[in-house]
A and B are shown apart, each in its own frame.
Chain A
Amino acid sequence: GAVVSQHPSWVICKSGTSVKIECRSLDFQATTMFWYRQFPKQSLMLMATSNEGSKATYEQGVEKDKFLINHASLTLSTLTVTSAHPEDSSFYICSARDRGFGLGKTQYFGPGTRLLVL
């Protein structure tokens, strides 16, 4: 299947700093990428949908100024957690769907990035 990578896999930062997470589709082009957040022992919560070349669509309750998303190319989307606080500590997972028509296309997930804000 298609491969999605994320970098970094782990990040520890001080409160107040900004952290950028990269998501890449390695062997396919993704017009749409998704960013999820997962708390321990819980399911995935969709944060935003990112379309190449346009602004991301954020889910209700997700601060767009806090979680900046850029989808600059068909293979790269970035999530920047600005002025991170301890409550932002979580497991962030990106997902990409192959371009083309049909909602039956599979979403492939990255390995996740664990963020710990001290």
Chain B
Amino acid sequence: AQSVAQPEDQVNVAEGNPLTVKCTYSVSGNPYLFWYVQYPNRGLQFLLKYITGDNLVKGSYGFEAEFNKSQTSFHLKKPSALVSDSALYFCAVRDGNAGNMLTFGGGTRLMVKP
């Protein structure tokens, strides 16, 4: 079975400061990892994904994420947060060896204060 954990329900950061949203995963095969962002009353927007290759993945809106196989983590990062980054962020994993199913973490609400 595959699973995703986002240990923080909410992350607060001041505008201009770096931000990190944590994600750890568990799969039996190769992990395909994704980050999505959700604004109020909206669907999910794709930010970035890791399939293979470089452990540091760059995505939309200046976000990046680092795949760490030994720690089974895929933390989302941004060097300088904007107030407009405030939203709900979801990490997701798919087992690269089997199945269609994308499993989501519980979500982390990011609050960026001016």
Contact = CB atoms under 8 A, between A and B. Distances in A.
Interface of A: 1, 4, 6, 32, 34, 42-44, 46, 49, 91, 93, 95, 97, 103-104, 106-112, 114
A1 B46 contact: yes
Contact of A111 (B34, B43, B46, B107): B43
B74 interface: no
Interface stretch (B61-69, B76-84, B98-106): B98-106
A107 B102 contact: yes
Interface in B28-60: 32, 34, 36, 41-46, 49, 51-52
Q: Which 8 A-B pairs have the closest CB atoms?
A: A104-B51, A109-B44, A109-B43, A111-B43, A112-B43, A43-B106, A43-B104, A110-B43
B94 interface: yes
A42 B108 CA distance: 10
Nearest to B98: A103
A108 B36 CA distance: 10
Contacts of B44: 44, 93, 95, 109
Nearest to A4: B43
